[in-house]
Amino acid sequence: MADEEAKVKTEGNVINLVVKDQTGNEVHFKVKMKTRLEKVFNAYCNKKGVDTASVRFLFDGNRAKPDSTPEALGMEDGDVLDCVIEQVGGCSCA
């Protein structure tokens, strides 16, 4: 019965998101479906002590924009946002 109650809560307007960094560390957030991801990004960066301008967040391999919402991206309960350090360059053009 407790499992059914948990499903009802997450099926509504709140989901659990996981933000995972490059080393595999995870931070879990409960987020409303209409909340801008910028709030999640800022909370994660504050918790980890990193500048929001130095990291990028990816969902299903695509960059997640701060003004996006979980609803707009089709996120479901337990989905993972990957957090990667921004890298400039990388082209070895000849």
Number of Cβ within 10 Å of residue 84's Cβ equals 13
The answer to whether residue 3 sits within a structural domain is no
Q: Are strands 26-32 and 80-85 parallel, antiparallel or unpaired?
A: unpaired
What per-residue confidence (pLDDT) applies to 88?
78
Tell me the residue range of the domain where 20 lies: 14-85
Please tell me the total count of domains within the chain.
Answer: 1
Among candidates 32, 44, 37, which has minimal Cα distance to 66?
A: 37
Q: Do 14 and 31 touch, CB atoms closer than 8 A? A: yes
Q: The dihedral of CA 15, 36, 27, 74: what is its sign?
A: positive
Question: For position 67, which CATH number holds?
Answer: 3.10.20.90
Mind listing the pLDDT tens digit for each residue in 24-78?
A: 999 999 999 999 999 999 999 999 999 999 999 999 999 999 999 999 999 999 9
What per-residue confidence (pLDDT) applies to 86?
81
The answer to whether residue 6 sits within a structural domain is no
The answer to whether residue 63 sits within a structural domain is yes
pTM score > 0.75 for this model?
A: yes
